[in-house]
Structure 1
Amino acid sequence: MIGASREALDAARERLEALTDNTRVDAAALATDLAAVTQLLHRETALRRVLTDPAQEGERKAELIRRLLAGQVGGEAVDLVSGTVRARWSASRDLVDAIEELADTADLIAADRVGALDSVEDELFRFGRVVATSPELRSALTTRDDSAAAVAAKSALIRTLLGGRAHPVTERLVTRLVERPRGRSLDAGLDALSVLAASRRNRSVAVVTSAVPLSDQQRRRLGDALARLHGRPVQLNLDVDPAVLGGISVRIGDEVIHGTIADRLDEVNRRMAG
């Protein structure tokens, strides 16, 4: 997002944080309500355009969405969404993306409250690795058939894979992504969720792929070096791929660097010195 949408999203994030500071607010229920609003706005193109029309007064847009959502979702979701539509948005899709991020964040807050955020973050990464190595599973979860039967089949598959094996928040996040990808690839969606989870602890995510498992010392050295480079803690998501041929690949966001383990550490140190 850029411009007005970026500012509107930042303000919406702050409202969500303020709202969920009150532990009496059920963050998981709020996430479910916001996910339902996401689907409504995704489906109703005309409504989405009205709510992001800069010619419309913010209060009129807020009153419209309050009327539509009253009795359909909880009061906290109504207040949060009505405040969000008051803002200016650069594109109508940005509003939907923002509400969806708020839904995912609310679920992550629910996990954080019970000390499960690290587990959820790790489970999202591990599930992504499983999908990456199983073309059959990827095909089953990414079919373009959006019929009710096909969506139900994908949900059932996620329950089989994660039910009882992963935290409920992980299962909910993955299920929503699989059921309603909204044009995203499964890989991109899982990566975005991992980054969102890491950001709650004010840290970045580095996907580290090596030919053999890194030793504890190598993990510490790489983690410390990347943290110094980026000015914040870095979560290392480790993957082993013999195709790397004795080297290492580190990806943080759009930055991808290949080399041997020693070369990668030396390069980080050189960049720090520069």
Structure 2
Amino acid sequence: MRGLSKASLAEVEERFNAVAGSADLGSLADELFAVVDLFDREHGLRRSLSDPARPADQKAQVARVLLEGKVSPAALETVVTAVSVKWTRSGDLAAALERLGVVAAAAEAEAQSRLDDVEDELFRFGRIVASNLDLSRALTDPASPEAAKRELLSSLLTGKVAPTTLRLVTQLVVHPRGRSLEGGLEEFGKLVAAQRQRLVAVVRSAVELSEVQKQRLAAWLRTSYGRDVHLNVEVDPRVLGGFSVHIEDDLIDTTIAGRIEEVRRRLAG
């Protein structure tokens, strides 16, 4: 988010942090996701509640009448704050609430000491979907009923991943909000990593890295970027040798395939 929306997001996050401490975080995430779905379906309502020309107290009252008694106090206060501030685009209102839903889910996973599991599972699920065309079609087909997608995800993931992972994947599949599934998983993965204020690095290697190699690479990246780094490692024989690291907007490429491609570019130039 940029400009006005960035400042508004910070204000909503501050209120969210103040009220979320005593809440059931998993339920809070579900409630915020449900409000996001409501705003996405009811475009007129979303535009009305994000209209900067309307008085903030008037918009807050509408939100209270709409949601009071239907969601928890923490969810209600978060939404009321969100509709009371000003957004650059009406869509930023729903995007901010979804973001806080992910934060609530990640906080629950952290409280259960499963945050690392969630990061790894989101990454691995993305790779599974990318390599299985039938599964990708079943999960992204707009004509497929929501209930069928939920049932498929439940059969695939229940008992095999952290509850938070299933919650976040379900949100992305059922409510893609214009994103590809792979892009949404990457976005949510970064938000989960941010719960510990660390970066995410996607590492591609021709062979599986040993734990010692992973620790050394993570330590080097931590020193280079000044923050803890979570490694998502993908074995890809196409790299031939060496490894590549994609972190933030940087690409560190030591692969043989990368060197060959660089030589080709130079010769073509």
TM-score by length of 2: 0.91
Q: CA deviation at 1:34?
A: 0.8
1:178 aligned onto 2:176: no
Task: Describe the superposition over 1:157-184 as per-residue Cα deviations: whole angstroms up to 9, x where unpaired.
Answer: 1111101111111111111110110110
Q: CA deviation at 1:21?
A: 2.6
In structure 2, what is the Cα distance between the partners aligned to 1:68 and 1:230?
45
Residue 94 of structure 1 is matched in structure 2 by: 92
Residue 258 of structure 1 is matched in structure 2 by: 253
Aligned letter for 1:259? T
In structure 2, what is the Cα distance between the partners aligned to 1:71 and 1:226?
48
SS of equivalent residue, structure 2 residue 52 = coil
1:11 aligned onto 2:11: yes
Residue 48 of structure 2 is matched in structure 1 by: 50
> How large is the RMSD of aligned CA atoms in angstroms?
1.7
Task: Describe the superposition over 1:194-243 as per-residue Cα deviations: whole angstroms up to 9, x where unpaired.
Answer: 11111111110001011111233322222112112211000011110101
200, 219, 222: which is aligned to 2:217? Answer: 222
Residue 136 of structure 1 is matched in structure 2 by: 134
In the TM superposition, 1:127-206 aligns within 5 A as 127-145=125-143, 150-206=145-201
Structure 1: segments with no counterpart, 5+ residues = 265-274
Residue 110 of structure 1 is matched in structure 2 by: 108
In structure 2, what is the Cα distance between the partners aligned to 1:252 and 1:54?
37
In structure 2, what is the Cα distance between the partners aligned to 1:175 and 1:201?
23
In structure 2, what is the Cα distance between the partners aligned to 1:45 and 1:228?
46
Aligned letter for 1:32? D
SS of equivalent residue, structure 1 residue 187 = helix
SS of equivalent residue, structure 1 residue 220 = helix
SS of equivalent residue, structure 1 residue 189 = helix
Residue 268 of structure 1 is matched in structure 2 by: none
Q: CA deviation at 1:151?
A: 1.6
SS of equivalent residue, structure 2 residue 233 = strand
Task: Describe the superposition over 1:7-45 as per-residue Cα deviations: whole angstroms up to 9, x where unpaired.
Answer: 1112222222222233xx111111111111101111111
Aligned letter for 1:17? N
In structure 2, what is the Cα distance between the partners aligned to 1:247 and 1:33?
45
In structure 2, what is the Cα distance between the partners aligned to 1:260 and 1:215?
17
SS of equivalent residue, structure 1 residue 71 = coil
Whether contact under 8 Å (2:19, 2:77) holds in the other structure is: no
Task: Describe the superposition over 1:100-151 as per-residue Cα deviations: whole angstroms up to 9, x where unpaired.
Answer: 11111111111111211111111111111211211111111111226xxx22
In structure 2, what is the Cα distance between the partners aligned to 1:160 and 1:93?
33
Structure 2: segments with no counterpart, 5+ residues = 260-269
21, 38, 41: which is aligned to 1:40? Answer: 38
In structure 2, what is the Cα distance between the partners aligned to 1:86 and 1:67?
14
Aligned letter for 1:116? R
Identity fraction in percent: 47
Residue 70 of structure 1 is matched in structure 2 by: 68
